[in-house]
Amino acid sequence: MGIRLVFGPRRPRDRAVIEGWTGESLVPLNDGRFLRFSVVLFLEEHEGRLRLKVEKSLYQYQVDEAGDRWIVRYDYLRYPSEPHPGMHIQVRGEQQEPEVLRSGQTLERVHFPTGRVSLEAIIRLLIEQFHVPTNTEPDVWRPVLAESEKAFLRVAHQDISGPEA
């Protein structure tokens, strides 16, 4: 499975999407679950040069292909139009403390504010916290993931989300 950058015939030439190699935004994982992702990019001039920027992104770890049984999701909206934070995470779980949320509100409807989250951080989360099996040993994937995340974070001016090795 790979990903590709697509400038489609129905969107302006300054807009693109990242999708799976086969055109899908759903990646089957080694634990039988799925990672749904969607990234919309645009070109913008910055200091006399065109720079590719993220307009919005979604990463969702889910049990089923349809996405009805999701576990955790992250959304990034450069230009949020809702009352929710532009960068937020949602967790599908049970509220343990009574009377914290409004009557009828579920924990999965709470939008926890975050900073920018890289795809590499999501991959690390799935491997290290949800124990999704990898195709290679940590001494192979960790340095590759760290270098890839460093490239993202140089642009975003942030530190990586985990150890380098």
Residue-wise pLDDT tens digits, 124-150: 999 999 999 999 999 999 999 999 999
% of residues, the chain, pLDDT over 90: 41
**What band does 5 get if pLDDT is binned at 50, 70 and 90?**
confident
State the average pLDDT for the chain: 86
Contacts of residue 130, defined as CB under 8 A and 6 or more positions apart, other chains included, come to: 31, 61, 71
Q: What is the mean pLDDT of residues 51-66?
A: 92
- The alpha-carbon radius of gyration of the chain (Å, integer) is 17
Higher pLDDT, 96 or 71: 71
Kindly tell me if the per-residue pLDDT of 40 is higher than 70: yes
**Model pTM?**
0.81
Tokens, residue 68: 């009805």
Q: Measure Cα distances from 24 to 3, 20, 135 in Å.
A: 9, 5, 21
- Residue 41 confidence (pLDDT): 86
Q: Measured between alpha carbons, how far is 34 from 29 in angstroms, rounded to an integer? A: 5
Q: What is the mean pLDDT of residues 89-100?
A: 88
